[in-house]
Structure 1
Amino acid sequence: MGTEGGNVRVIAGRYRLESRIGRGGMGVVWRATDQLLGRQVAVKEIALDDSLSEQESRLQRDRTLREARAIAQLRHPHIIVVHDVVVEDERPYIVMELIDGGSLADRISRRGPVDAREAARIGIDLLSALRRAHDAGVLHRDIKPANVLVEAGGDRGDRVVLTDFGIAQVAGATTLTEHGAFVGSPEYTAPERMSGVRTGPESDLWSLGALLCTALSGESPFRRDSLGGILHAVVFDEIRPPAQAGPILPVVRGLLERDPERRLDAAEAERMLRVFRDTGRTPRPAPGTPGYTPTQRVALKKDTLKRDVPTRQISRPQASGAAQPPPKRSTRAVLVAAALVAAMAGAGVSAAALLMKDDGGGGHGGTPTSTAPHTSPGTSPGTTPSTASPSASTPGPTVTVTRSSNASPATHSTAPSGYRLASDANGFTLAVPEGFTRVAQGERTFYMSSGEVIRLGIKVADPEEGGPTGVMRRAAADGPSTNPGYRDGRVTETTHGQHPAALWEFTWDGFTRAEGARHTYDLCWEEGGRMYDVWVSAPVGKVREAREYFDVAVDTFVPS
């Protein structure tokens, strides 16, 4: 039995609970003294649900102990050390090391956001910790600034410690929270977790991407005024990392990939951040990075970009290459289920009930307004869509891409790492990959990689009948005659910012037999009395880079 002296309790005959230092959804954390070893510790008192039956309470206690013991096996400098797990009066307690310092959330609140180099250091430490946990079959499931402790480290720098594995999940075990309520922080919760259909290591990586954005800007990119708004932001809205994320944008973009099958993995994200720390430049993902192919539009906030003066119109895309394979049905089902959750939560339905519902595979559902890619008509290589390409048999959601409505018409400042701002004589500015050279071809302007393998094209023209959608559909109808081997063509009506737009995506046989098929992303939109067409064309084997180039070009495009 625990003993009490005044306001002091002693549990397990040795741990004296002295003062409360934290409270969360899973219980209370106490500053305590281990009277046997004479050291300060932190003790987490797990809250029990009084509504559970005796058998259910026992099962909950057993799960807590099993998971805590598994976490205690994780020896890593950036994972909280678990010293002991005890039961007192049928209540579990987890005894951990006491960290001399507050949380990352506290630090941001007191001192403001961190710079890119410090964010990279935090990311490296947490990715290393997550790799260790995931290798041991442990998922954290609640990565957020409040669950990251920062211990003053003197000359060696502050130590970053991942803590609060209270809702962690151990592979092969029923999780502590699987009996009825969603536990976690929606602003940092991956879309696939929201649906209750799937949780894996990739979900922790999404949360880390959101955490890095918060560390850099002071606010999660998914913060909204209501739970329904947060869910909609996570599932549908255009993902807009803060401008401060520019130096490490390839990592943030890769982690905030809605399709978990295509999300940047921990090892590659850590490598990229280490390169940034060493060189000040963030590389793109290495060729062959497992599963990474950006499909969601992750646009850098352009509060510092000028967006006023329109220029000309758009043309039809030129030949380009390989189509991106549609996402697996299971992944699509996850996102559809999460989409339904967001829509229903916005309507006032109980979020906890919705989030725990396994909505199976989703064939139907409305046409949500989402952050999908936008393309435009034009005889040019195309643009990168904002959402995963829908399968041929299942129509995809209507996509609406919006820019920040309060973006000020200021001058542009910096380009993402690995890019340069090109102020073109034809009346626009955009970020293009370093090393790309400008080639003018009549009314079109191209920026091309070495050997003209990847082609980024821009056309400015007067508006045409039918607007962007009409232009793109006419171009698509002519596709077989203008692009040999034209196939998999698709035109999607959408918006770019608040402007009408259309996205055309297709595959064709390419310029030469040796090079093989190419894929094109082409976005056309109408703005300020002009029509703009931006496209990217690349061989099928380089479609990953092409998507990123396309996204950055469209997101940073500024008429002048």
Structure 2
Amino acid sequence: MMVRMGTEGDSVRVIAGRYRLEKRLGRGGMGVVWRATDQLLGRQVAVKEIAQDDSLSEEEARQHRDRTLREARAVAQLRHPHIIVVHDVVEQDERPYIVMELIDGGSLADRISTHGPVDAAEAARIGVALLGALRTAHAAGVLHRDIKPANVLLETASDEADADRVVLTDFGIAQVAGATTLTENGAFVGSPEYTAPERMSGVRTGPASDLWSLGALLCTVLSGESPFRRDSLGGILHAVVFDEIRPPEEARPLLPVVRGLLERDPERRLGAAEAERMLRAFLKTGRTPKAAAGGAAHPTPGYTPTQKGVPLRELAPPPQPSTPSPTPPVTAVPPPRRSTRGVLVAALLVAAMAGAGVSAAALLMRGDDKEASPPVSSAPLTSTSAGTTSPSSPTPTPTPTPKPSKTANTPTAPSGYRVAHDPDGFALAVPEDFTRVPQGERIFYMSPGETFRLGIKMSDPAAGGPLAVMKSAAAKGADTNPGYHDGKVTDTTHYGHPAALWEFTWNGFSTAEGPRHTYDLCWDEGGRMYDVWVSAPVGKVREAKEYFDVALDTFVLEQKQ
């Protein structure tokens, strides 16, 4: 059902005369998710508001809406306890809204960030649930294409003795058999660390590609990070397609399943039914059996397993890590080219594998997380700073994320944000209710009551670069941040520029203010040093991380006023 009615008040909006949007729960690659009330049935629901991009042509906007409807159709036809339920799709002002069941609980990514990796039994339980969901989706001709921890929700059990319900969500880039694909130009939408090599090499994909992603996800939940995490998009692509695959030590109990799912040849990759059988056996006996003969997934149409430059791997069923065979040398992957599409930004990576015989691989990466990692905090009173990680809060990955080019005229603000054109010569998107508060060389944008503090500082480069500056600031952290603890500085890059990330927790400036968490990124670019940070109460790290990500994704230089 598609409706075009809506009302909007000072603090709430009612969509289609029925769904009252009440609280923003998070932001993903395609828009904002709200907690809402279905006033007709008197129940709580989740409503996904699809972001608009005014820079799109009429045809591109139509494709964007088509993709949204495809997501709704893909999920609405599926019935499984571990797949999100779609109740309705409505439209207002040519913007689609997807109405879904409301899950009382966070994402798997949140759980890993907050509580760390899980044990093998819990990983197996999660794997069994997701395999059941994927088998149902695949049987209906639906590919998810973006399996990752942020797209798995954990619904809190009503009885403490019961396990949380595992729910697969965000079919935002799902592909339905028979539907027109939106990536026929060779670009892929998804999360590189969880993307199968056959998708990286520009080949048509099938159910086996989702199973590869599940294998990477199992490694992440067991160890805390994907085995393909690297400090650049080109590095991730190279790791997925060429590097030795080294499952983490924590995956040892489930190694036959993990190695089977991370088989580069989709024809030999472990199938969903066999993987589920093996995980159930582990849950019952504590041992993972070998894969049965004929347990591989169905071949992927259009994929040539002997394609030069995409090394094949023998399965290693024993539950002991084995030394992977060396991979053939390859040429370095060129750095990614970036392009802009508002805050739903994407990076187009064209990797020409010279001498490898692989067709140019294009990867269109969504900037989402979205939906789903940790905090940043108020501006430290030291000079430029960068990231640190606190064990008490989720830790964002200090890897490059696509963003608008510095030559773009103006960034695009997502729903709930506005573009702030600062007189000091930069622009970025900030929440609508944030106000500008200059403090000397630092510019703050603060929420009402200064609960959230977003800071920006521009200065001349310093000796040793961002890393030296951040380490110096961290060494003096207790001098300017009362109760400073759990500080960490990480050497990283920011869109190819030298950068450092500083993250820490502190007690706030007063007892009334309470403990806070800060996330701070500093980088060198064009002969200047830039510092952007966010500070927030430790209980509001998810919102703070969202504000931080949006600020960095939309930061551009302008003519100083």
TM-score bracket, shorter-length normalisation: 0.5 to 0.7
Deviation per residue, 1:501-520 (Å, 9 max, x gap)? xxxxxxxxxxxxxxxxxxxx
Name structure 1 gaps, 5 residues minimum. Answer: 294-326, 367-560
Separation of aligned partners in 2, 1:225 and 1:287: 38
Amino acid at match of 2:54: D
Does the 8 Å CA contact 2:188/2:199 hold for their aligned counterparts?
Answer: no
CA distance in structure 2 between the partners assigned to 1:229 and 1:107 by the alignment: 26
Alignment of 1:172-183 (within 5 A): 172-178=178-184, 182-183=188-189
C-alpha contact 1:103 1:145 (8 A) present in aligned 2: yes
1:103 aligns to what? 107
The one-letter code sitting in structure 2 at the alignment partner of 1:270 is E
**Cα deviation 1:274-317 (Å, max 9, x = unaligned):** 00000011000112224599xxxxxxxxxxxxxxxxxxxxxxxx
TM-fit CA distance, 1:271: 0.3
Would you say the 8 A contact 2:192–2:237 is kept in 1? yes
Pairwise CA distance, 1:23: 0.8
* TM-score with structure 2 setting the length: 0.55
* Amino acid paired to 2:57: S
Which one has a larger percent helix, Structure 1 or Structure 2? 1
| Closer, same or farther: CA 3–332 of 1 in aligned 2, 3 Å | farther
**Structure 1: which amino acid aligns with 2:271?**
D
Which is further off, 330-339 or 52-61?
A: 330-339
Counterpart contact for 1:197–1:358, Cα < 8 Å: no
Pairs within 5 Å for 1:76-475: 76-153=80-157, 154=159, 155-178=161-184, 182-290=188-296, 330-333=304-307, 345-350=333-338, 363=357
Q: Which has the larger radius of gyration?
A: 1
Out of 35, 39, 50, the residue aligned to residue 39 of structure 2 is 35
Q: Return closer, same or farther for 1:334/1:62 CA change in 2, 3 Å cut-off.
A: farther
Cα offsets for 1:432-467 (capped at 9, x unmatched): xxxxxxxxxxxxxxxxxxxxxxxxxxxxxxxxxxxx
Count of equivalent residues:
332
Tell me, what secondary structure is at the counterpart of 1:28?
A: strand
The Cα of 1:184 is off from its aligned counterpart by: 1.1
Q: Please give the secondary structure, in 2, of the residue aligned with 1:18.
A: strand
Whether 2:62 is the aligned partner of 1:58: answer yes
CA contact (8 A) 1:213 1:245 kept: yes
Cα distance in 2 between the residues matched to 1:103 and 1:185? 16
The alpha-carbon distance between structure 1 residues 237 and 337, as it changes in their structure 2 partners (threshold 3 A), is closer
In the TM superposition, residue 164 of structure 1 has moved relative to its aligned partner by 0.5
| One-letter amino acid of the counterpart of residue 6, structure 1 | D
The match for 1:307 is none
Q: 1:364 to 1:70 in 2, by over 3 A?
A: closer
CA distance in 1, matches of 2:94, 2:187: 22
2: CA distance, partners of 1:37 / 1:285: 48
User: 1:356-414 CA distances to partner (integer Å, 9 max, x unpaired)?
Assistant: 8999x974799xxxxxxxxxxxxxxxxxxxxxxxxxxxxxxxxxxxxxxxxxxxxxxxx
* Contact kept in structure 2, 1:260 and 1:331, CA below 8 Å: yes
Cα drift, residue 179 of structure 1? 6.4
> Which residue number corresponds to residue 526 of structure 2?
none
Q: 2: CA distance between counterparts of 1:17 and 1:364?
A: 48
Q: 1:180: how far off?
A: 7.9
Query: Structure 2: 5+ residue runs without aligned partners?
Result: 313-326, 340-345, 361-561
Which residue number corresponds to residue 23 of structure 1?
27
TM-score where L is the length of structure 1: 0.55
Cα 1:279–1:328 change in 2 (3 A) is same
Cα 1:205/1:345, change in 2 over 3 Å: same
Q: Report deviation, 1:49.
A: 3.5
The worse-fitting range, judged by mean Cα deviation, of 7-16 and 126-135 is 7-16
- 2:80 and 2:52 mapped to 1: Cα distance? 29
The answer (yes or no) to whether the contact 2:309–2:358 under 8 Å persists in 1 is no
- Give distance in 2, aligned partners of 1:196 and 1:101: 36
Closer, same or farther: CA 5–32 of 1 in aligned 2, 3 Å: same
CA offset digits 1:119-141 (Å, max 9, x no partner): 00000000000000000011111
For the residues of structure 2 that align with 1:18 and 1:227, how far apart are their CA atoms? Answer: 37
Contact 1:195 1:356 in 2 (8 A): no
SS in 2 for 1:83: strand
The one-letter code of the counterpart of 1:39 is R
The CA deviation string for residues 212-268 of structure 1, in whole angstroms up to 9 with x for no partner, is 001001111111111111111111111111111111100000000111111000000
2:82–2:168 Cα contact (<8 Å) kept: yes
Alpha-carbon distance between aligned partners in 1 of 2:39 and 2:303, rounded to the nearest angstrom: 56
Provide Cα deviations, 1:483-534, integer angstroms capped at 9, x if missing partner.
xxxxxxxxxxxxxxxxxxxxxxxxxxxxxxxxxxxxxxxxxxxxxxxxxxxx
Task: Give the partner amino acid of 2:179.
Answer: A
Kept in 1: contact 2:309–2:357 (CA 8 A): no
Q: Contact conserved, 2:336 with 2:347, CA < 8 A, in 1?
A: no
CA distance in 2, matches of 1:102, 1:329: 36
Q: Quick check: 68-77 or 50-59, which moved more? A: 50-59
Q: For 1:45, what is the secondary structure of its paired residue? A: strand
Task: Kindly provide the CA deviation profile for residues 166-213 of structure 1, in whole angstroms up to 9, marking residues without a partner as x.
Answer: 111111112345568532111111111112222211111001000000
2:337–2:350 contact (8 Å) kept in structure 1? no
Alpha-carbon distance in structure 2 between the residues aligned to 1:292 and 1:16: 45
User: Residues 334 and 263 (structure 1 numbering): CA distance in 2 closer, same or farther, change over 3 Å?
Assistant: farther
For residues 333 and 230 of structure 1, do their structure 2 counterparts lie closer, same or farther at Cα, with a shift above 3 Å needed?
same
Q: Distance in 2 between matches of 1:236 and 1:100?
A: 40
Provide the rounded CA distance (Å) in 2 between the counterparts of 1:337 and 1:198: 18
CA contact (8 A) 1:275 1:283 kept: yes
Cα shift at 1:336: 5.1
